[in-house]
Structure 1
Amino acid sequence: MKNLIIFLLIFFISPNCFCQQNKNTLKQTIKNYPELEAVIKHYKKKDDNEKLKAVNFLIANIGSKGSYMYDLVDSNEKSVGYNISNFKDEMDEKKGLDSVADVRGKLYKKESFLPDLKNITAQFLIDNIDKAFEIREKSPFCKNLSDADFYEYILPYRVSTEKLENWRTLVLNNFTKAQLDSIYNFSTVLAATAYVNKIYEKRFSFGGNRYFKEKKVRSYSELLKDKLGKCDDMCNLMVLVLRALGIPSGSDYIRYKRASNDVGHSWCFILDTKTKHYYPFDPLSENGPGFFNLPYKNAPLVSRNQFAILSENSIKNDQSIIYHDLFEDNSKTVTNEYFETTDLVIPLNKKLQEPLYLSIWNNGWWKPITYFYNPNQNIAIFEKVSKTNLYCLTKYKYRTVEEVKEPFIIDKFGEIIHISSLPFKKDINLNDVQNKELKKAKNDTFILDFVTNVEICKRVIEENDQKDQWILSSNLNIRTNTLYHFIDKSTHIKKIFLIKNDGSVDWY
């Protein structure tokens, strides 16, 4: 054991290592989990230093990774075999579950977590490592692939919290020899990925908004069986396929779309080792490789899923102080790859012994997108923040978000514009504003003062001989350079806007 640990640590201090665990943690991990020790012994016996480095990377970053299991059970905790894809829509799902409840009684959600450290086997890791190295040698799209990129975009044995399975073999068995030859005969990784994408478009598709509520992350075999899912499912499926084929890939996502009430979105990317360029694409869609256009203007934060544990996430394992959406989040920020960004330095009145969050207005409240934590500083620093957005510095306490300072706008030059210091304000007739969204608003659309939440006016299509008008409430006026909350109850749209002195509208 002692020799194994010393041997392993040699790789951890080498310049090619990308791990974050310290020596004591690594030593304890190997000591406590004999399956991991068996993998090290296997490659040490073969004197395979390259695969030993790969083992080191996986062990050092295995951390709290594992499989989340979600099920629906009866009072005896027996599964009722629930699968959302067995129902054609929400009404059909409710009818089906009601019929099950009539026989089995009240149904309960059951969640469990299977940590990889306790459940992964030596043979599973060995098979995964061997197949990853085999495809690295075979695939022309891995030529000149660095070890760092190989470790992140080919080697990992999982992409999320799906159940463990030998997906590399399953993927390759789903292709004919002719198809594999076609893939590797393409001269560009874009063409090869587009070819693979077309094949899987026929096997899996978007299943509708009802899938957004599903927490379960499905494995490759489960995805192909169910054939339907949300964008996360489509990403996971395509990443598994591409990595099995030796095409370096991963996924990016946004949690919130500006100040709207929409859900976020996930998409894939591939790495072209010839150009060293990342190409994003929506998997299983016509917005495929080479034709990607992110339809969300200036999303506040774009994140990239990582297998490696990131050093800046050191407090993300403390559930008592971290916002729940960011707890154990192992992503890195790549907003600057998609939008113009700036680095923010915000002065504080005093040093705070808790994380501060940069929040975006979403669906009626401030939602944290990233945090800063340094109790020894009286400033808050946020890097790579998207421009032309509305933000607020907040605290998270007792499951509520509190404003630390008033909301502010980051303009196109990267300057912070505080709400109270917006330029000269003047009264304006909203009916004269030439903005399509305001002009096309329907009945049951209201405008509230953003700060006081008081109704300023409402949209009236036809009432008392007035048609297509914004009618002021009481004696209140609409003013330029003031934030307002636009709420369309019929479409559930909630947005923030201000009208500038020239009559143009900025939406946030």
Structure 2
Amino acid sequence: MKTFTRLVSVFLLTAVGYLFFLSCSGREKNVPAVSILEAALQQAGENRVELEKVLFRYQIDPTDSLKYRAACFLIENMPYYTYYKGKQLDRYFTYYALLQETRGLGISPQVVADSVRHMYGPLYLDSLQSYRDIETVDSAYLCNNIDWSFKVWQEQPWGKHVSFADFCEYLLPYRIGDETLASWRESIYQKYNPLLDSLRASEVLDKEDPIVAARCLLDSIRKGGAVFTTAVPASLPHVGPEVVQQKTGSCRELTDFVVYVCRALGIPCAIDFMPIRGDENDSHQWVAFTDKYGTLYYHEFPNGVSEVRKDAMCGMPKIKVYRNTFSLNRAMQEEMQKLDTAVIPLFKDPHIVDITFPYTKNFKKELQIPKDALYKGKPRSRIAYLCASKRMDWEPVAWTEFDGKNIVFTDIQKGPVMRVATYERGRLRFWTDPFEINVSNEFHFFTPSDSVQDVTLFAKYTLRADDMFLNRMIGGTFEGSNDPDFREKEVLYLINEKPKRLQTVVQSYSSKPYRYVRYVGPKESHCNIAEVAFYTPNDTASLKGKVMGTPGCFQKDGSHEYTNVFDGDVTTSFDYIESSGGWAGLDLGIPKQIEKIVYTPRSYDNYIRSGDKYELFYCTGNKWSSLGKQLSEADSLTYKNVPRNVLLLLKNYSHGVQERVFICEDEKQNWK
């Protein structure tokens, strides 16, 4: 069977499993037999006696030899973990319970986060007490973790296809990151193990396949849904096994929840992540599994489990994907320390391995930067970083050795915008203009051209996330009637394409006067729409009337009712409780002729808004240069004399924080 370890080793020689065997079993020649283990014990200080109790306990009985090796694995990697404690941290963790309590009440997560911050004051990690695992983990805690890990590994039928190396890396660890230490295995086991009784009793399902167990478990626990948000009251460490049971928070908290539950039940899993998504400004993580044949699967709570190569995840824009490991990637650490002492946090004491290949279709084994594209100068660092775009910043996501002339990165997904930099004196020093690589392996550098163009902008951020709402408007109709029940009606306009801007203006098909007018959402659209305005031939102001419609919203909290369609606010919208049959309209009092209709799609509020203050920037060399500020007078902005072949970024100083680099070509904004 191909295992997690075998899959990773194809792409990168790592510390996973390999270094474990260096320290606890047969070692390479000239390597002291206890070098790694002894070095860890020396760092334990007064806590050394506790750790030696664990080693001694499992040395007594020969049948515990695997447990002894497991203890070695944990202790050797323990020096690299730290956690925090403090009353202020506990107070801030109530945020996740509050998210669950306010669910369905129309209170946004950001409001909850602001309330926590206002109630308890600011939180700074450096004001909390910090503790090192190696100095604090006692023998009882460690033995309990080891014994329970072995119990579930050996008693569950799917454990048959879990190797010892995979067990150490993906079942055995007592923690995920920097969460406060807690005993969690037994309580989670008792709570969730009964959910797999039917699988263990099944004569049909392959109970020996870990992915079958993972699917059965996650199909059961995901039914209650989750509260997903990226809003946080402060920069927090991992929240720990108890808090994640709320099933609220970002992908980090939801991923941690799944990992705790799966590992408590003997289902090996890892956390894979991209440091920056290729077309957005945020990192993203998920849970990874392999079946008994070594096929890679992934899971984003509360969705189902999908095979990576057959899912959209494989084509999602990204440059690098890494896997979090409990063990330190000593090979990477030693190589980077040999090249430079100043290393960015992602690669300093790295608990990661590269697993980009199985997550990408447009893969490039070697990315050699053209020599003539490099800026002139001499680097102070021998490490070059490949960086991804993040608003006006650049985030290092890969590294290689750099001698000032040759730069070759390995295992890269093509497509996203990238840039090469070194890390010197606490900041990035760039060595190329931004560039992208197409499917034909051709470089395109975004170097400002001498020619200019006029551009018209309709959004400040990619509308990719809005596509569902935009597509739901295709087939929507505006109707007029003189019957309040619309038993006799006429179609005033049929939407036959996705809206391209905040406000779309269309002409009515009919010149007949109607007292009742409405928008009817197409099937399976939940009647998603933000605003509608009707105009007569002689009026410059939209018509007013008594609001009518189908009551009930999908959220069941009154936040997305039909009345939002006529409240004049483009940030509110209708989301009918049923997928079909929803509508929203006006009783005008007397029949009136409708000449034009202006409608606004439901969105995430990234369109250009009238009255907002904007500033457009373009990337040139080591800086972003301004093309001027504007106060928008409509749902678009026009800038003149914009250099061609440049990355652009539009800031809104009035509303919202989302912004993303783009280019303008063929009179369109193309997001990068």
TM-score, normalising length: structure 2 = 0.61
Counterpart in the other structure of 2:363: 341
**How many residues were matched structurally?**
473
Counterpart in the other structure of 1:85: 96
Once the two structures are superposed, residues 222-275 of structure 1 have per-residue CA deviations (whole angstroms, 9 ceiling, x without a partner) of 322x452221111111111111111111111123223534x22211111212x2
Once the two structures are superposed, residues 437-462 of structure 1 have per-residue CA deviations (whole angstroms, 9 ceiling, x without a partner) of 69525245664332262328979664
Distance 1:179 1:297, change over 3 A: closer
Greater mean deviation of Cα atoms: 300-309 or 347-356: 347-356
Alpha carbons 1:360, 1:391 under 8 Å: kept: yes
Distance 1:169 1:116, change over 3 A: same
Structure 1: distance between partners of 2:266 and 2:238:
23
Alpha carbons 1:206, 1:231 under 8 Å: kept: no
Counterpart in the other structure of 1:483: 647
Counterpart in the other structure of 1:211: 232
Alpha carbons 1:356, 1:372 under 8 Å: kept: yes
Counterpart in the other structure of 2:76: 60
Greater mean deviation of Cα atoms: 391-400 or 345-354: 345-354
Q: Which amino acid aligns with 1:341?
A: F
Distance 1:23 1:381, change over 3 A: farther
Q: Are 2:240 and 1:248 aligned?
A: no
Alpha carbons 1:62, 1:116 under 8 Å: kept: yes
- Compute the displacement of 1:412 (Å): 2.0
Percent of residue pairs identical:
19
Alpha carbons 1:316, 1:322 under 8 Å: kept: yes
Counterpart in the other structure of 2:343: 322
- Compute the displacement of 1:309 (Å): 1.0
Counterpart in the other structure of 1:465: none
Once the two structures are superposed, residues 82-126 of structure 1 have per-residue CA deviations (whole angstroms, 9 ceiling, x without a partner) of 63235455545555665667xxxx987632322111111223222
Distance 1:293 1:68, change over 3 A: farther
Counterpart in the other structure of 1:507: 671
Counterpart in the other structure of 1:72: 88
Distance 1:506 1:413, change over 3 A: farther
Structure 1: distance between partners of 2:32 and 2:387:
30
Aligned match for 1:282, one of 293, 296, 300: 300
Counterpart in the other structure of 1:4: none
Structure 2: distance between partners of 1:269 and 1:366:
27
Distance 1:202 1:113, change over 3 A: farther
- Compute the displacement of 1:72 (Å): 2.0
Q: Which amino acid aligns with 2:412?
A: V
- Compute the displacement of 1:292 (Å): 5.7
Distance 1:430 1:377, change over 3 A: closer
Q: Which amino acid aligns with 2:231?
A: R
Counterpart in the other structure of 2:214: 193
Structure 2: distance between partners of 1:457 and 1:96:
35
Distance 1:196 1:432, change over 3 A: closer
Greater mean deviation of Cα atoms: 285-294 or 28-37: 285-294
Greater mean deviation of Cα atoms: 131-140 or 183-192: 183-192
Counterpart in the other structure of 1:363: 391
- Compute the displacement of 1:131 (Å): 2.1
Aligned match for 1:172, one of 163, 183, 189: 189
Q: Secondary structure at the match of 2:176?
A: coil
Which structure has the bigger radius of gyration? 2
- Unaligned 5+ runs, structure 1: 1-7, 74-78, 463-467
Counterpart in the other structure of 2:660: 495
Distance 1:482 1:91, change over 3 A: closer
Distance 1:21 1:246, change over 3 A: farther
Alpha carbons 2:455, 2:664 under 8 Å: kept: no
Alpha carbons 2:86, 2:128 under 8 Å: kept: yes
Counterpart in the other structure of 1:382: 409
Structure 2: distance between partners of 1:94 and 1:191:
41
Alpha carbons 2:457, 2:669 under 8 Å: kept: no
- Compute the displacement of 1:330 (Å): 1.4
Q: Secondary structure at the match of 2:659?
A: strand
Once the two structures are superposed, residues 319-350 of structure 1 have per-residue CA deviations (whole angstroms, 9 ceiling, x without a partner) of 96122454434112222221223222345765
Structure 2: distance between partners of 1:197 and 1:9:
31
Distance 1:116 1:204, change over 3 A: farther
- Compute the displacement of 1:415 (Å): 3.9
Q: Are 2:257 and 1:230 aligned?
A: no
Once the two structures are superposed, residues 113-153 of structure 1 have per-residue CA deviations (whole angstroms, 9 ceiling, x without a partner) of 22111111223222222222222222222223222222211
Counterpart in the other structure of 1:450: 619
Once the two structures are superposed, residues 269-315 of structure 1 have per-residue CA deviations (whole angstroms, 9 ceiling, x without a partner) of 11212x211201102x1344459643983122222110111120237
- Compute the displacement of 1:54 (Å): 1.9
Aligned match for 1:400, one of 404, 427, 442: 427
Aligned match for 1:41, one of 56, 60, 81: 56
Structure 2: distance between partners of 1:469 and 1:162:
46
Counterpart in the other structure of 2:288: 269
Structure 1: distance between partners of 2:120 and 2:659:
38
Structure 1: distance between partners of 2:40 and 2:303:
45
Structure 2: distance between partners of 1:117 and 1:213:
27
Structure 2: distance between partners of 1:469 and 1:95:
35
Q: Secondary structure at the match of 2:320?
A: coil
Alpha carbons 2:454, 2:639 under 8 Å: kept: no
Distance 1:99 1:386, change over 3 A: closer
Structure 1: distance between partners of 2:96 and 2:385:
37
Once the two structures are superposed, residues 33-66 of structure 1 have per-residue CA deviations (whole angstroms, 9 ceiling, x without a partner) of 1222222221211013222222222222223123
Distance 1:439 1:478, change over 3 A: farther
Q: Which amino acid aligns with 2:349?
A: E
TM-score, normalising length: structure 1 = 0.78
Structure 1: distance between partners of 2:201 and 2:22:
33
Q: Which amino acid aligns with 1:336?
A: F
- Unaligned 5+ runs, structure 2: 1-18, 103-108, 464-498, 502-606
Q: Which amino acid aligns with 1:450?
A: C
Structure 2: distance between partners of 1:255 and 1:142:
31
Alpha carbons 1:356, 1:395 under 8 Å: kept: yes
Distance 1:36 1:416, change over 3 A: farther
- Compute the displacement of 1:487 (Å): 4.4
Aligned match for 1:412, one of 434, 439, 446: 439
- CA-based RMSD of the aligned residues comes to 4.0
Alpha carbons 1:446, 1:488 under 8 Å: kept: yes
Q: Secondary structure at the match of 1:161?
A: coil
Distance 1:154 1:377, change over 3 A: farther
Once the two structures are superposed, residues 349-389 of structure 1 have per-residue CA deviations (whole angstroms, 9 ceiling, x without a partner) of 65644432211120211222233346x68533322122012
Structure 1: distance between partners of 2:643 and 2:311:
39
